[in-house]
Amino acid sequence: MRLPVWLQPGLGLKRWLVLLLVGILFISLGLGYLLRQLYDTVPVPDFFYYLTLQFIPREGRILLFLLAGLAVIALALWQMNRSLISALVLTGRPDAVSLVHQRRQLARGPRVVAIGGGTGLSTLLRGLKEHTGNLAAIITVADDGGSSGRLRRELGVLPPGDFRQCIVALADAEPLMTSLFEYRFGDGEPSSLAGHSFGNLFISAMAGVTGDFERALRESGRVLAVRGEILPSTLADVVLWADLVDEAQVEGESHIPRSGVPIARVYLQPDDPPAYAEALRAILEADLIVIGPGSLYTSILPNLLVPDIMRAVRASQAVKVYVCNTATQPGETDGYSVHDHIQAILAHVGERTFDLTLVNENLTADFPVDWRPIAPPRGDVIAGGGRVTVQRADLIDQARPWRHDSIKLARAIMALYYQHTNHVRKRPWSRWA
C-alpha cells in the first residue's frame, strides 16, 4: 500500500495529519528553547561542539535537521501503514484505504428506508448498500410459514426468516459467515432441525439470550457487520387475513397464495397494532422511501397496514418510490398489470403513498410458465383518482427474470432519487399519489 493514497480526498485523515505535524512543531520549538537555555547557562564538554554539528554553518544545520525530521516522519507513517493497517485487512478484500474511503463516502449517502419483506427486499438491499451507508429496512412480521412459522409458534418470537435474509443482504462479513447464516438443515438432520436455517435459529437464540427481539437483531447484525438498520414494522403478534372474491376468508400469510382464488383485500388482526418506534423515526428522517419489490399482498401491504407506519409515510418529506414486480406471482397476483398493482395498494391504504413507480421494461428473457412478465404501460397510470408517474428501466436478473437484478435496481432507484431532488430544487413538485 502506498502512503500517498492516504492523502486522497474524502478519507478525513489529512486534517489530523496536519494537526499531528503542528503538535510536533510545538514540541520541537519547546525543546529548542530549552536547549538554547541550557546552552547559555550550563557548561558542557568540548565534544558537544561536534555533537551539535556547530562546525557546519547555521543555515546548513537548519536544512539538515528539517530534512532528517521529514524523513523520519515519512518512514514512521510508512511502516505504520504496512504493519498496523495491513493487519486489519481481510484476505481477498480491498486494501484498508479503499475500505476507509468507501465507508466515508457511503456515510454521506442519502437516508434510505426500504419497506417490504421476503426475497424482493433482500435483493433491493444488496444493491443499495453499495450506494449509501444510511439504510433502514422495515420488515413485515406476519410470516407464519416454514421455519419462521415453526419458531414463531414454538418459541413465541417474531418470525425471523425475512430478518435473516436482510441481515445477510446487508452483511459486510466474510462469505463463510453469510453462508453459515443461510445454511438450512436438510432431511438427513434430526427431525427437530429439518427445514430450519441456522440464521433463524441464531436470531431466535439471541432473542432468548438478550431478552428481546430488537436487541437480538442488533447483536446479530454486529456478528455479520451489517451496513444499516433492520427494523420490524410492529412488535405485535399480528396475523394476516385475506378476503377472497368468492367471499371466503383465509387466515395466515402462508395460506393466502394457496387458495387459488383471487384476493379482494388483506387485513391484519389485531387491526391497529402499534408501530415500532424506531421504524417511525427512520421513515420520518428518510430522504428516500422505497416500497417493494416483493409479494404484493403478503410482504408489502402487511407493513403499510400498520396505521402509524402509513401515517409516517404520508408525513415524510422523502422521495417515495414504488418498485413494481417484474412478473406476476402465482396464487397472489395472477394476471395483474402495473395498474392493478398500484390500484391494489391505493385501495388498501389510500392516496399520497408514493411519488414514482419504477417498472421493468426488459421482456426479452424467458419467464417460467407460471410467472408472466408484467409489461410496462405506454404512459403514466391513472389510479386512485390521480395520475401516477411511471419510470421504466431494465431491471431483471437475466438468470432469473422473475426477480430483479440488485445492481440494476439500485442504480435505477438512485438515479430517480437524484433526478427527482434536482427537479425539486428547480421547481416545486406536486405530490399526487
- Do 132 and 19 fall into the same domain? no
pLDDT above 70 for 93: no
Closest CA to 135 of 166, 91, 158, 95: 166
427 pLDDT higher than 50: no
Is there a single domain that holds both residue 127 and residue 84?
no
Q: Which is more confident, 16 or 381? A: 381
Residue 129: CATH number of its domain: 3.40.50.10680
Q: What's the confidence (pLDDT) of residue 101?
A: 53
pLDDT score, position 184: 87
- Whether 223 is in a domain gets the answer no
Q: Does 88 reside within a domain?
A: yes
Are 136 and 13 in the same domain?
no
Domain that holds residue 294: 109-141+233-426
Check residues 305 and 48 and name the one with the higher pLDDT.
Answer: 305
One domain for residues 384 and 420 = yes
Residues 369 and 281 in one domain: yes
C-alpha cell at 322: 414504488
Separation between Cα atoms, residue 172 and residue 155, nearest integer Å? 29
> Between 38 and 211, where is the model more confident?
211
Its pTM stands at: 0.78
Domain annotation covers residue 175 = no
Give me the pLDDT at residue 195, please: 82
Q: What pLDDT, on the 0 to 100 scale, is given for residue 424?
A: 55
- Say whether both 72 and 132 belong to one domain: no
Tell whether 243 and 371 lie within a shared domain: yes
Window from 30-39, 74-83, 127-136 with minimum mean pLDDT = 74-83
Residues 6+ apart with CB under 8 A from 284: 312, 315, 316
Regarding whether 360 and 309 lie in a shared domain, the answer is yes
Average pLDDT, the chain: 85
Q: What is the pLDDT of residues 185-215, one digit of tens each?
A: 886 666 678 888 899 999 999 999 998 899 9
Q: How far apart (Å, rounded) are the C-alpha atoms in residues 125 and 111?
A: 13
Overall domain count for the chain: 2
